[in-house]
Structure 1
Amino acid sequence: MTYQFTIIVPVYNEEENLQRVESELLKYLKIATVSTSVLFVNDGSVDNSQAIIETICERNDAFEFILFKQNRGLSAAIKAGFEHVDSELVGYIDSDLQTSPEDFNKLLEHINSYELVTGVRSNRKDSFVKNMSSKIANGIRRAFTHDGMDDTGCPLKIIKTDYAKRIPMFRGLHRFLPAMIMLQNGRVTQIPVQHFPRIAGTAKFGLWNRLLGPLMDCFAYLWMKKKYINYDIEKSSKQHL
């Protein structure tokens, strides 16, 4: 079957969440406004995540997986997903399910007018330290990128796949997806989505990842922006049969 939309689910040691991920995504597939598949990207988990993922994929035709030999980080998992899919649209959601798959339909309402639609988490159910560090990091990032986004860390996004495949991602750059789409002259917007507390597993990001790491990544983004190659072909002699 050919799918219009693929949901990437990065996974790193999330064995406690994966059965719920399967259940919630199956519910979403029944109400999705476009034909949708799911791609697990196992980022070198050392718990029982892979065995659970394989069982899920065996019993659901719309689910498949990629397994890394070793842990490479969230940006690598997202990039591998982008490279693997062949659907017109690609998105992702974290396996902790602090955002809801059903909100993909809210983002899909706007994707025809934009190249990237990202969620912005309303009434975040995180700790005070996590919320404040995220706000500070987002403010610093906006000052560097001028992307106008309030919550680039929101793990609920949809991108037109041809744009996603051209993103030259490196470690930490998942926070700069809107800015990287804008470098391609793509249009971006943000839509409020639901947010829920984590109920199983452990968070993979600490204060360094949320605040100091993103500050360093801003300088990497500035280097990337300066060196980024972008062009549009007006005409070609190649004939398409």
Structure 2
Amino acid sequence: MPEISIVIPCRNEAANLPLLLDEIGAAMAGRAFEVIVVDDGSTDGTTSVLAAQAVLRPFPLRHLRHEKSAGQSLSVRSGAWAARGDIVATIDGDGQNDPKYIPVLVDALRQAGPGFGVAQGQRLKRRDSKIKQLASRFANWLRKAVLHDETRDTGCGLKAIHTDILRKLPFFDGTHRFVPALVIQEGYRVVHCDVVDRSRRHGKSNYGIFDRGLQGVLDLAGVWWLRRRRRRMPKTEEIRHG
């Protein structure tokens, strides 16, 4: 049984997946893990690439497919509910996230203790365009000011989170950008790990700069409302008498 389920949400990343799987195998050597690729309605050769890769890999490689694209957050949800490991590690399928940080995040989460729910990667040396970096910086500043989640960069795809906690979170198109705040809402803390960003190898980003700006503001308002209307989950214990 795998201890760690690595969930890769992706759409039209067939050219990036083989090398990414190579790197994951090297980074996770000696650990019990599985890889779940959530194919979010891809229209390229993702299915045939994964069929070939599944034969080659010494670790379990599972392929979940959405009939239609549902977005990154709901892809993570599909992976979370399929996961067999007690920790889910997420990584983007475009190759910009370096898999060598997956064991770093997993170990940081375990070492932090039971009061911590997620290890969140925070990118250094961003490889995106300047305008995208500025837009991301403003979005992170606004989110942090409103939600007080003490996280510099929640958009990083590298995360490690206890599977049972991840399954408790509300899922909507944008959840992945608010995981620290939602984990805090559940009564847990967040541990942060700096990671170094890389350039995309093949293809182009499935996410624009301005097309998600309004949606991001609406999502932020929704998460703020949720936190205002729901108190933190209490720690509950059963006291036995007699």
Q: What TM-score do the two structures reach when normalised by structure 1?
A: 0.91
Q: Does 1:107 align with 2:105?
A: yes
CA distance in 2, matches of 1:72, 1:84: 16
* Whole-angstrom CA distance in 1 between matches of 2:174 and 2:211: 9
Shift of 1:135: 0.2
Q: CA deviation at 1:20?
A: 1.4
Q: Which amino acid in structure 2 is aligned with residue 94 of structure 1? A: D
Structure 2 counterpart of 1:203: 205
- What SS does structure 1 have at the residue aligned with 2:29? helix
Choose 3-12 or 217-226, whichever is displaced more: 217-226
Aligned residue in 1 for 2:155: 153
Report the alpha carbon displacement of residue 171 of structure 1 after superposing the two structures with TM. Answer: 0.8
1:125 aligns with 2:123: no
Equivalents in 2 of 1:166, 1:155: separation in Å? 19
Q: Which residue of 1 aligns with 2:24?
A: 25
Q: Deviations over 1:133-192 (max 9, x none)?
A: 000000111112100100100110000111111011111121000111000111102111
* Sequence identity percentage: 27
Which whole-Å CA distance do the structure 1 matches of 2:211 and 2:151 have between them?
19
SS in 2 for 1:152: coil
Instruction: Look up the match of 1:49.
Output: 46
Structure 2 contact 86–164 (Cα < 8 Å) conserved: yes
2:122 aligned counterpart, secondary structure: strand
SS at match of 2:160: strand
Q: Which residue of 2 aligns with 1:176?
A: 178
Count of residue correspondences: 234
Q: 2 CA distance for matches of 1:40 and 1:209?
A: 26
Do the aligned residues in 2 keep the contact of 1:5 with 1:36 (CA within 8 Å)? Answer: yes
For the pair 1:234 / 2:233, whether they are aligned, the reply is: no
Name structure 2 gaps, 5 residues minimum: none
Q: Is the CA contact 1:75–1:171 (under 8 Å) kept in the aligned structure 2?
A: yes
Aligned to 2:109, the other structure's residue is in SS state: coil
Counterpart for residue 190 of structure 1: 192
Aligned to 1:76: 74
Residue 165 of structure 1: aligned partner: 167
Note the alpha carbon deviations across 1:64-101, whole angstroms, 9 max, x for none: 11111111110110111111112111011001111111
Corresponding residue number in structure 1 for 2:12? 13
Calculate the aligned-residue CA RMSD, in Å. Answer: 1.7
Q: Distance in 1 between matches of 2:172 and 2:201?
A: 30
User: What is the DSSP-based 3-state SS (H/G/I as helix, E as strand, rest coil) of the residue aligned with 1:165?
Assistant: helix
In 2, Cα distance between the equivalents of 1:195 and 1:166? 29
SS of residue paired to 1:147: coil
**Cα offset, 1:210, TM superposition:** 5.4
- 1:235 & 1:54 partners in 2: Cα distance? 48
Cα distance in structure 2, aligned partners of 1:210 and 1:107: 28
The answer to whether the 8 A contact 1:136-1:211 is kept is: no
CA distance in 2, matches of 1:154, 1:167: 18
Query: What is the CA-CA distance between 1:27 and the residue it aligns to?
Result: 1.6
Cross-structure match for 1:40: 37
Measure how far apart 1:209 and its partner are. Answer: 4.9
Residue 234 of structure 1 and its aligned partner are, at CA, apart by 2.0
